[in-house]
Homo-oligomer: A and B are copies of this chain.
């Protein structure tokens, strides 16, 4: 019976004098004084096995041919090591196995990189040999943690009587948000399915179907240009409920997070999480996903500096912009003029025209722009910014969006560089009171801030026709340590509101009907009030496991050009396959 195998990692002194049978990989081999020592590894851990000619001449002979990553099946006796040879860095370091029987189950070529915790091997090599990369302990641990995380979420939701349900992958292409991945239909030539960007409409249909509580670990697809923290396919825990309020959904999500933190990290986190209005988050942190593990907040000083003689500041304000500042406490002496120039260049990436600065010395503001501030303004400014001797004050005066984005990014950069962030901390935060629409000045039109199915705040519904920009959404995002974990909302469940929503978004009646007719029709057959949330599993696992790369949390990730270096997908397909799909590849471009 091989099913209940002895786990290598579970071996200890209590097994001394017992015979064991082990299967695993050769982590490393050392030859020493006529003996061969091998570290044998399985999923559970590593143990030292010893080949001794006095125990088995034959086994030693086999061991001589063994190399790293060979797969072995051994038998032998567990013996306690001498005190002098125990290895405290190894879980099984107090024992070793005297091998008397060995089979080589499989051989291994010399691997292109060592299977060890730390590696500086180029990522493309690691991705090409992903099956070797995945043998490394930190990745093994990450995927165990991923398993624990999803099971903790499941256990919570099952306990709350949610049903896990599967929605289709071959769906209809709709122009919401990002670009769809398309799948040509063979049976219907010239037509296409789309892979889902999220199961949004299906989960709403499930509420209309009366299931009341749905969840799914949903694979989602977006054909976007990839950044470091994006993948063409990703997984979200997708939740939808009927008859719940925003507060209900928020409370439930908090309990779920509390359970995950307890089950996976052994941490007790306090409920409820803090909540912050979107406007406040932008003003204080310059971000809709603020990292609240440290201060260094943005402070609006428009009203104060508007009294100064500094034209640059006053012009920014009179042009509809604002002036905000960050007070870097006690660091004045650390910032040379060159350092400050570097920070100025950094803010320019975010569109800022410049970064002004002041230092506080002997109770006075110092620096090139200090002369524009009379005593009264200086005093107000110090008071507003809680500025004291040794502080350095950093200002951006610009359009509101630019001020927030540039100072928000600068805040994060300084927080990291000045070591102000506690990496052991998990700081959850809700962002609430989102606007329903985003306004694009150049295109002069509105787009949905979340998605077109988000319910407006009841008392703002009347403004949909005249002042859509002022309509708030019944939406909430969950932020963890400066990352958006996900978000949700109540959904529109009345056809007339959904009709209005599409109108504001610039859909003609025909377009709305053509693309979302089935939803509009479903809303007319007894749709319950409903809402939900979706959280990014890959990103959550990244934060829980303390990794910095989303690719470390996905077993077989794609590169920034959406390729799999292991299988070499995507790839060419045969002419016959294209013929069947009634498709041709355009000649002008080359793959």
**Which chain A residues have a beta carbon within 8 Å of chain B's beta carbons?**
1-3, 5, 23, 25-26, 41-43, 69-71, 105-109, 111, 129-132, 134-135, 140, 143-144, 146-147, 150-151, 154, 158, 163-173, 179-195, 201-202, 205-206, 208-213, 217, 219, 221, 223, 232-233, 235, 242-245, 248, 251-252, 493-494, 518, 522, 524-529, 554-556, 558, 561-564, 566-573, 577, 580-586, 589-591
Q: A164-B151, A556-B202, A591-B188 are in contact. Are A564 and B209 (CB under 8 A)?
A: no
**Is the Cβ of A245 less than 8 Å from the Cβ of B182?**
no
Q: Are A526 and B71 in touch, CB under 8 angstroms? A: yes
Are A193 and B248 in contact (CB-based, < 8 A)? no
Contact, CB under 8 Å: B223 / A186: yes
Q: Are B131 and A522 in contact (CB under 8 A)?
A: yes
- CB contacts (< 8 Å) of A242 on chain B: these are 23
Question: How far, in whole Å, are A28 and B172 apart by their CA atoms in the complex?
Answer: 34
> B189 and A590: CB pair below 8 A?
yes
Nearest B residue (CB) for A186 = B223
* Top 5 A-B residue pairs of the complex, sorted by shortest distance between their CB atoms: A108-B526, A134-B209, A69-B526, A172-B569, A190-B591
Chain B neighbourhood of A184, CB < 8 A: 182, 184
Q: Is the Cβ of A212 less than 8 Å from the Cβ of B525?
A: no
| Smallest Cβ-Cβ distance to A111: which chain B residue | B525
Question: Are A150 and B172 in contact, CB atoms less than 8 angstroms apart?
Answer: no
- Extra inter-chain contacts (7) besides given A3-B248, A151-B158, CB under 8 Å: A43-B211, A108-B524, A140-B210, A179-B580, A188-B563, A189-B591, A190-B591
CB distance from A180 to the nearest CB of B (A): 8
Docked Cα-Cα span, A586 to B586, in Å, equals: 11
A173 engages B555 (CB within 8 Å): no
Contact A570 B163 (CB under 8 A): no
A526–B2 contact, CB under 8 A? no
Q: In the complex, are the beta carbons of B570 and A193 less than 8 A apart? A: yes
Contact in complex: B2, A169 (CB < 8 Å)? no
Interface centre among A213, A493, A518, A591 (most CB of B within 10 A): A518
B581 touches A584 (CB 8 A): no
Contact across chains for A567 and B182 when beta carbons are under 8 A apart: no
B525, A555: Cβ atoms closer than 8 Å: no
- Contacting pair A243 B209 (CB below 8 A): no
Distance (whole angstroms) from the CB of A489 to the closest CB of chain B = 17
Determine the chain B residues whose CB is within 8 A of the CB of A154 once the complex forms. Answer: 151, 154
A71–B527 touching, CB < 8 Å: yes
Determine whether the beta carbon of B192 is less than 8 Å from that of A570: yes
| B170–A232 touching, CB < 8 Å | yes
Chain B residues whose CB sits within 8 angstroms of the CB of A208 once the complex forms: 131
Bound-state CA distance A580–B224 (Å) is 12
Inter-subunit contact B2/A243 (CB<8 Å): yes
A577 near B182 (CB under 8 angstroms)? yes
* Chain B residue at minimal CB-CB distance from A251: B3
* A108 vs B201: C-alpha distance when bound (angstroms): 19
Contact of A131 among B192, B233, B525, B585 (CB under 8 A): B525
Question: With A23-B528, A165-B143, A221-B169 known to touch, is A561 a contact of B211 (CB < 8 Å)?
Answer: no
B211 touches A571 (CB 8 A): no
B210 pairs with A195, CB closer than 8 A: no
Instruction: Name the contact of A195 in the complex, choosing from B111, B169, B568 (C-beta under 8 A).
Output: B169
A275 to chain B, nearest CB (A): 17
Docked CA distance A569–B170 (Å): 8
A245: chain B residues at CB < 8 Å are 2
- What are 28 A-B contacts defined by CB distance under 8 Å? A2-B248, A43-B212, A43-B213, A108-B524, A109-B524, A132-B209, A134-B206, A134-B210, A135-B210, A140-B210, A147-B165, A151-B154, A151-B164, A166-B219, A169-B219, A170-B570, A172-B568, A173-B569, A182-B184, A182-B577, A183-B195, A189-B590, A192-B573, A205-B556, A518-B568, A582-B589, A583-B583, A583-B586
Q: Which of B190, B213, B494 contacts A106 (CB 8 A)?
A: B494
Chain B residues within an 8 Å CB radius of A529: 71, 105-106
* Chain B nearest Cβ from A108, distance in angstroms: 4
A529 to B586, CA, bound (A): 45
Q: List B contacts of A235 (CB < 8 A).
A: 166
Q: Which residue of B lies closest to A67 (CB)?
A: B526
Which of B107, B134, B567, B585 sits near A172, CB closer than 8 Å?
Answer: B567
Hey, which chain B residues are within 8 Å of A564, CB to CB?
Answer: 168, 170-172
Q: Is the CB of B219 within 8 A of A131?
A: no
CB distance from A227 to the nearest CB of B (A): 14
A493 vs B98: C-alpha distance when bound (angstroms): 28
Q: With A525-B129, A583-B584 as known contacts, state yes or no: A571 contacts B164, CB within 8 Å.
A: no
**Nearest Cβ on chain B to A72's Cβ, whole angstroms:** 10
Among A129, A173, A193, A580, the one with the most B-chain Cβ atoms within 10 Å of its Cβ is A193
Q: How far is the CA of A235 from the CA of B217 in the complex (A)?
A: 14
**Closest Cβ–Cβ distance, residue A69 to chain B (whole Å):** 4
